[in-house]
């Protein structure tokens, strides 16, 4: 038997470290060649790390949330034969592992709470103290809350110092936690159950003040999003312009195209038309389709229009990229958006599909509100936000007409885009969307 150490491989993009987001194996698990061991996250995407050998996992490098350097020891696997790590073979369970195991033991949710011993002694403590006795100790199903003895005003909840400390650190008010121990003592198991399932239900009537707090660790995708948003908002002075667009005409066109071609070419939403409008608009203002390297002092303008589509996924916001939209028809754009959105939601989008945008569209769909202040997808310089469409009365010079109206909210990097140019760009989008024929005849 030997120890085979797998280091965190270079997963491209020239990165130096990656955040561990998930283990697919635990110490003691048998793994086969090519089994997925765990997942790490870079700026762009989640990457699964496969095993290159078969054997038994004996050591893990850390816990989800830890940042691991590329090339650092990732996992150790006990294998038939020699392995590749002679030093580790002498000490198959490095010290770090013992610590981790301890950590786990402390984590409430890590292991199912041990079955409570049957409370035999409880039933017959004696005449004086126990006769009036506790109700029979509750089963796991009927949660410990059953034995909750109401506390007198100012009375401290009964719990060992270790339980009290754990509760303080978890922000849990022990007065809320039912104790299943002798004299209603709150046990570690009671706290585990409370943390796992929340407060016992079916309490007395009336409302109680909510005293708890919870710390939610910001890891993985959420951390990436947080860093990215903070970077953008702290470095880029945003200017946001909101404009009203009469989309009656483009909606009419869309309806006719769908009636004619939906079956064969797929259904069109408004989004491909907005993409088309952006392609047309940046042709006149290439400074909008650009990445600003503010440290290098260079704005790189792109001929290809690679539009990022801000997409809500179960894990959080991602921005898959529709490449070369200048070379796509509206149906092609529509199909690409559908494909990318699905891939992103299922977490299957590749790194290439999640990077390389030069301008971004953000839309909250039916929740789109009247106006938004979109945050630029750094290091881009412009973002187009689409707000909710509604039928509103518009004055046509003689009378009010019911028109389909939608606002667009666009933000620009004011360091490199002047307000005037931003306004020109927004007006261009407006005129293209209000007169959709322009998008096609100018081609």
Point out the residues that are catalytic.
414, 418
Which CB, 156 or 261, lies closer to other proteins? 156
Token duo for residue 3: 């120890």
Q: How far apart are CA 19 and CA 67, in angstroms?
A: 4
Question: Smallest gap, in angstroms, from Cβ of residue 126 to other proteins?
Answer: 5
Cis peptide before 379 (omega within 30 of 0): yes
Q: Residue 175's CB: how many other CB atoms inside 10 A?
A: 15
Q: Least distance in Å: CB of 326 to other proteins? A: 53
**CA-CA distance, 440 to 12, in Å (whole number)?**
40
Task: Find the shortest distance in angstroms from Cβ 164 to other proteins.
Answer: 5
CB of 4 to other proteins, least distance (A): 37
CB of 131 to other proteins, least distance (A): 10
Q: Of 95 and 128, which CB lies nearer to other proteins in the complex structure? A: 128
Which residues of this chain interact with other proteins, rule CB under 8 A? 121, 125-130, 132, 134, 149, 152, 156, 158-161, 164-165, 168-169, 171, 181-185
Nearest-approach distance from CB 194 to other proteins, in angstroms = 17
Instruction: Give residue 432's Cα distance to chain centre.
Output: 35
**What are the Cα distances from residue 93, in Å, to 4, 20, 28, 57, 109?**
13, 21, 11, 10, 24
């Amino acid at each position: 038997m030997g120890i085979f150490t797998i280091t965190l491989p270079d997963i491209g993009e020239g990165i130096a470290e990656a955040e561990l987001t998930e283990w697919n194996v635990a110490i003691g698990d048998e793994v086969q060649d090519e089994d997925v061991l765990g997942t790490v996250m870079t700026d762009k995407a989640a990457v699964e790390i496969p095993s290159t050998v078969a054997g038994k996992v004996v050591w893990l490098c850390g816990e989800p949330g830890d940042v691991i350097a590329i090339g650092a020891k990732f996992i150790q696997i006990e294998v038939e034969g020699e392995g590749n790590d002679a030093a580790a073979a002498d000490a198959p369970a490095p010290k770090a592992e013992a610590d981790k195991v301890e950590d786990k033991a402390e984590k409430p949710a890590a292991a199912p709470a041990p079955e409570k011993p049957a409370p035999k002694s409880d039933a017959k403590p004696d005449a004086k103290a126990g006769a009036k006795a506790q109700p029979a100790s509750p089963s796991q199903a009927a949660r410990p809350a059953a034995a909750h003895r109401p506390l007198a005003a100012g009375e401290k909840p009964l719990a060992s110092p270790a339980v009290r400390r754990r509760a303080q650190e978890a922000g849990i008010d022990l007065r809320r936690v039912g104790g299943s121990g002798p004299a209603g003592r709150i046990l570690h198991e009671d706290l585990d159950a409370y943390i796992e399932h929340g407060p016992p239900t079916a309490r007395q009537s009336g409302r109680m003040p909510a005293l708890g707090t919870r710390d939610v660790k910001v890891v993985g995708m959420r951390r990436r999003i947080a860093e990215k948003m903070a970077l953008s908002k702290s470095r880029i002075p945003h200017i946001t312009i909101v404009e009203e667009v009469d989309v009656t005409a483009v909606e009419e066109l869309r309806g006719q195209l769908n009636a004619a071609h939906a079956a064969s070419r797929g259904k069109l939403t408004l989004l491909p038309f907005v993409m088309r409008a952006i392609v047309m608009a940046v042709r006149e203002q290439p400074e909008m389709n650009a990445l600003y390297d503010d440290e290098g002092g260079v704005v790189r303008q792109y001929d290809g229009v690679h539009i990022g589509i801000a997409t809500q996924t179960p894990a959080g916001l991602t921005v898959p990229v529709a490449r070369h939209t200048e070379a796509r028809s509206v149906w092609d754009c529509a199909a690409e958006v559908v494909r990318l959105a699905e891939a992103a939601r299922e977490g299957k989008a590749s790194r290439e599909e999640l990077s390389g945008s030069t301008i971004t569209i953000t839309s909250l769909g039916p929740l789109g509100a009247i106006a938004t202040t979109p945050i630029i997808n750094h290091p881009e310089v412009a973002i187009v936000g689409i707000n909710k469409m509604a039928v509103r009365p518009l004055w046509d010079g003689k009378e009010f007409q019911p028109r389909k109206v939608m606002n667009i909210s666009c933000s620009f990097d004011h360091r490199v885009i002047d307000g005037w140019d931003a306004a020109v760009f927004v007006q261009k989008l407006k005129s293209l969307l209000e007169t959709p024929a322009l998008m096609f005849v100018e081609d």
